[in-house]
Structures are given as structure tokens and as C-alpha cells.
Amino acid sequence: MTQTNTVPSPSQRRGVWRGMLKQIRRPGVAIAVAVVIMLVAMSIFPGLFTSQDPNLQSILSRLKGPMFEDRSGVLHVLGTDQLGRDIWARIVYGARTTLIVSIGAVLVSAALGIFLGLIGGYVGGVTDAVILRLIDMQLAFPVILLVIGAVAVTGQSLAALIFLMGLASWPTFARVIRSEVLTLRDREFVEAARSIGATQSRIILRHIVPNVLSVIMVVATFELSTMILIEATLSFLGVGVQPPTPTWGGMISEGQRYLSQAWTVSLFPGLVISITILAINTLGDELRDLLDPRLARTEN
């Protein structure tokens, strides 16, 4: 029933950045942007956010609550952990490792998953069947177990951890992309591209990929949160990033043993993870909408 508006002013043509700037005026988006900027700043210049050493231990001031001031007059805003280290400082210094590991792992799994998903969905046939079986096999095998086993073989290094975590979770991308491509492949505009003689790679890159971009965004933000949690689990099991290097997940798992005495030790890193994920998801949604010309807001 809705007749398409055929007379939009030509000046309001897209520009993702302009759109983004406009969206920032909305409070939710503004907060999300601020959070992400702060996280990035934290990972690059942790010294700006805290003057304390994240690894400085003090047996005397173990497991203290927020706003604890120790004997030397230093204020521990979020309290201290089981070794008397400042929780805020550890959160700040943990940002870098946590983000590098989780973003890195998402990139690895995205690269692999998108590639296989595109191929499987577009080519179909035997290739698709093989990829599907691979996905099933991977899914049937617990991610954590896989990484533990692999880490035992490769030894612990940040690069290996990133790579293995990524390798272990590509099926999420592959599955979603594949099913999306399956429906796109039969759409008339893809057939139209074939009818003008476009090559397969051109069709995939110019027509399929831009149309699955929004799905990729959604899966990626979702996966980012999963990765932060997996990293936490791995740290808890002792195969993640090795102490004393702080990571948020590691902090939660270390604090878990002291929940009854000092619940804040786990609470604050947990809160930070939640805020981060919320911010990233908000931005992901926003970006997806901006990338879709059909959803581009037409009012000025």
C-alpha cells in the first residue's frame, strides 16, 4: 500500500559517517560511542586512567571493598582482589589483552566462516555438503575442549590463543552466512547480474557480500561477547592468558573463589564486560541500519 516516495531531496544522499554523526545525538548511541572510545583509549594509554600498578600486591589489603584507602593513603576506588591488587587498575590494564584476544578471535573466525559460508552457499553441491559436514563436526565438538587440547599441543601464547579461539568458532559465521547466501543466490537481482555476464567472483563480491554485510555485523558483535566469555572460561581453567597479565575474564574467575567474602572482586569486571558488550551491540545495530540504504533515515 505504501507508495514509494519518489521525490527525496538529492542532497540527503547517504554517507555512513554523516549518518553516524547524526545518530550520535541520540543518547543511547552517544553513550555507546563514548564507552567504545574509552575502551580503546584504555588499551592504548592505560596510564591515563589509573596511576597504580595492576600487579602490585599487598597481603595486608586483600579483598577490600570499594573506596578502600590503604595505609599509604592510596585510594582503591573499586577495592582490591585476593592479592591486594587494585581492581580498577587491573580492569584498565586488562582492557588491552581482553580486547586484543576477543577482537582477534572474532576476526579469525569471521574470515574463515564468511569465506566458507559464501562458498558453500553460492557454489552449493558437493562443496556445500562438505562444508556443512565440517560445520556439524566442529559444532559437535566442545569449543573449550578443543582449545584446551590444542593449547596443550601448541603451548601458550597470545597468538596461538587468538588463532585457536577463532578457529573454534567459525561455524556460527559460516552457518548464518551460508543460509543468507542461499536465499540471496536465487534472488532476481543476482540472476540479473548473471544475465549481463558478470563473473562469479564479481557477483559474490559486488552483490552477495554487500547484502550479507548487515548479518555479518550482527553475528560479529554477538560473537565478540561470546569470545570475551570464552576467554574468561579459558582463564578460569588455566589455559587462557596466563597470570599475572590481567584480563577481565580471568579476574572474574579468580574472584569467584572469594565470592562469599568479597563479591566485588568478580562483580566489577563482570559489569565492565556487560557494559562493553552492550555498547558494542548497540553500535553494531546502528551500523547495520546505516549500511542498509532501505533503512536510511530520510527525514533531515
**Sole binder of other proteins in the list 5, 51, 72, 260 (CB under 8 A):** 5
How far is the CA of 70 from the CAs of 74, 87, 93, 185, in angstroms?
6, 14, 21, 64
Cβ 49 to other proteins, closest distance in Å? 40
- Any idea which residue has 556487560 for its cell? 274
> Considering beta carbons, is residue 72 or 299 the nearer one to other proteins?
299
> Considering beta carbons, is residue 202 or 257 the nearer one to other proteins?
202
The one segment of 71-79, 103-111, 158-166, 288-296 that binds other proteins by CB under 8 A: 288-296
Name the residue among 53, 68, 94 with its Cα closest to residue 262.
Answer: 68
Cβ 68 to other proteins, closest distance in Å? 51
Grid coordinates given for 34: 563514548
Cβ 126 to other proteins, closest distance in Å? 9
Asked whether position 300 contacts other proteins by CB under 8 A, the answer is no
Helix (H, G, I), strand (E, B) or coil at 226: helix
Grid coordinates given for 232: 574468561
Cβ 33 to other proteins, closest distance in Å? 25
Cβ 176 to other proteins, closest distance in Å? 18
Asked whether position 25 contacts other proteins by CB under 8 A, the answer is no
Cβ 299 to other proteins, closest distance in Å? 10
Asked whether position 123 contacts other proteins by CB under 8 A, the answer is no
Helix (H, G, I), strand (E, B) or coil at 10: helix
The one segment of 4-12, 17-25, 148-156, 243-251 that binds other proteins by CB under 8 A: 4-12
- 23: CB partners within 8 A, 6+ apart: 29, 286, 290
> Considering beta carbons, is residue 6 or 51 the nearer one to other proteins?
6
> Considering beta carbons, is residue 48 or 192 the nearer one to other proteins?
192
Residues 150-209 that bind other proteins (CB under 8 A): 187-189, 191-199, 202, 206-207
The one segment of 5-13, 169-177, 232-240, 253-261 that binds other proteins by CB under 8 A: 5-13
Helices 143-154/158-168 angle, 10° precision: 150
* x-marked contacts with other proteins along 207-226 as a string, rule CB under 8 A: x--xx---------------
> Considering beta carbons, is residue 96 or 207 the nearer one to other proteins?
207
How many other CB atoms are found less than 10 A from the CB of residue 21? Answer: 10
> What is the separation, in whole angstroms, between the first and last Cα of the chain?
24
Contact 253, 236 (CB under 8 A): yes
Name the residue among 247, 222, 255 with its Cα closest to residue 98.
Answer: 247
User: What are the E-state strand segments in the chain?
Assistant: 68-69, 75-76
Helix (H, G, I), strand (E, B) or coil at 64: coil
Contact 261, 63 (CB under 8 A): yes
Cβ 184 to other proteins, closest distance in Å? 10
Report the length, in residues, of the chain: 300
Asked whether position 288 contacts other proteins by CB under 8 A, the answer is no
Interacting residue ranges for other proteins, rule: CB under 8 A: 1-8, 10, 13, 187-189, 191-199, 202, 206-207, 210-211, 292-294
